[in-house]
Amino acid sequence: MILQVIIAQGNFPSLSDTEVVDLFRSAFRSELERLRNAESTVESGTAKPAGSLKNAETPSRRLFQTDYAEVNRTLGEKVPASLSILRKIHDNGSGFHMRAMVTILDVAGAAAHSNARGYPVVTESVYQGYMSAIETLKKFSLGEIPSERACYDQVLSKQVRDLHMKGYNLLSTNNVEERALLRILCMGRVDNKQSADLFNKAFTKLSTTEKRSLVNGLNMDGLDDGIAILPYYAPGLIAEVLRGAQRKEESAIIEALSIFMGFMAGVVEYKSETGDPRVIERDLSFVQDVIKSNNFKNDPYVLNKVQLP
């Protein structure tokens, strides 16, 4: 049976996961072949995840007799200048909604290599965060929000309100240190007081020089204030730091997070003679092997030896 026909007849919900995967193979054979050659990123998951199909197979193992690393790019590391493109949308919103749908599907597909049903990483808080951000971006594209910075800070403020409702201190986007911490909390997908406290303690442990560099770098817009660094894959690396320290004492988790924040301080710091406003992208995937290594798990200070390219 053809996938499109089954959907048109309303029979799709009655299919088993295994039947769906087989139909997808027939309907999207060329696309799946291209995905087999996609380059993996920092959130590649386990080497052999537990499957949810027949005989405990994953979709990849059923289709290709092997597992492939998850391919995903998280967007939480953007800077305000990244929003400027929204000023150019003049198609009654169809282009904006298409881009928003692509983003939601990208997030929803994370961890789908190990679970063929549902959206494993899309918790209610993650979903609400994305939907709120999309609504705010839509208002900016319609001219209802005056600037990229104001739009960006509205998204951060939603995170502030959500954490405050769960008992965390009320942070302000008008305070540069608190705003920098908010950006890190967003990159870390922090949605509860306990995790926020850990990140705050790690932030507090930074040296004066490290904190100054991190705060200054994370408060650059890349518009009329100089150069803003876009640290690609920072959210995924934070997830790896936490994953490696999840069975350790709180002090060890704080130490690992603080050392990573010190590394980030070097990433987002940029000294330029001209200071022309612009955005510079820095791909941080080169450090994933270090963070995933047993050396880092046993001694996070090995990260201090990594040279930025």
Q: Which two tokens stand for residue 52?
A: 């949810």
The pLDDT of residue 52: 64
Residue 278: strand pairing partners: 227
Indicate whether 164 pLDDT > 50.
Answer: yes
The pLDDT of residue 55: 75
Q: Which two tokens stand for residue 189?
A: 């997908």
58 within some domain:
yes
The average confidence (pLDDT) of the chain is 82
- Provide the domain count of the chain: 1
Indicate whether 247 pLDDT > 60.
Answer: yes
26 within some domain:
no
Residue 4 — pLDDT band, cuts 50, 70, 90? confident
The pLDDT of residue 40: 56
49 within some domain:
yes
- Neighbouring C-beta atoms of residue 94, cutoff 10 Å: 9
25 within some domain:
no
100 within some domain:
yes
The pLDDT of residue 213: 95
Indicate whether 297 pLDDT > 90.
Answer: yes
- DSSP conformation class of 80: G
Residue 46 — pLDDT band, cuts 50, 70, 90? very low
101 within some domain:
yes
Which amino acid is residue 134, in one-letter code? I
Q: Which two tokens stand for residue 100?
A: 């928003």
Q: Where in the sequence is the domain holding 166, given as residue range(s)?
A: 38-305
The pLDDT of residue 262: 97
119 within some domain:
yes
Top-confidence residue, 30 or 244: 244
The pLDDT of residue 73: 36
The pLDDT of residue 196: 96
238-244 long-range CB contacts below 8 Å, 24 or more apart? 238/184, 238/187, 238/188, 239/42, 239/43, 239/188, 239/189, 240/42, 240/43, 240/288, 240/291, 240/292, 241/291, 241/300, 242/188, 244/291, 244/292, 244/296, 244/297
29 within some domain:
no
Q: What is the 3-state secondary structure (H, E, C) of 174-187?
A: CCHHHHHHHHHHHH
The pLDDT of residue 53: 72
Top-confidence residue, 93 or 263: 263
Nearest to 164 by CA among 196, 129, 132, 135: 196
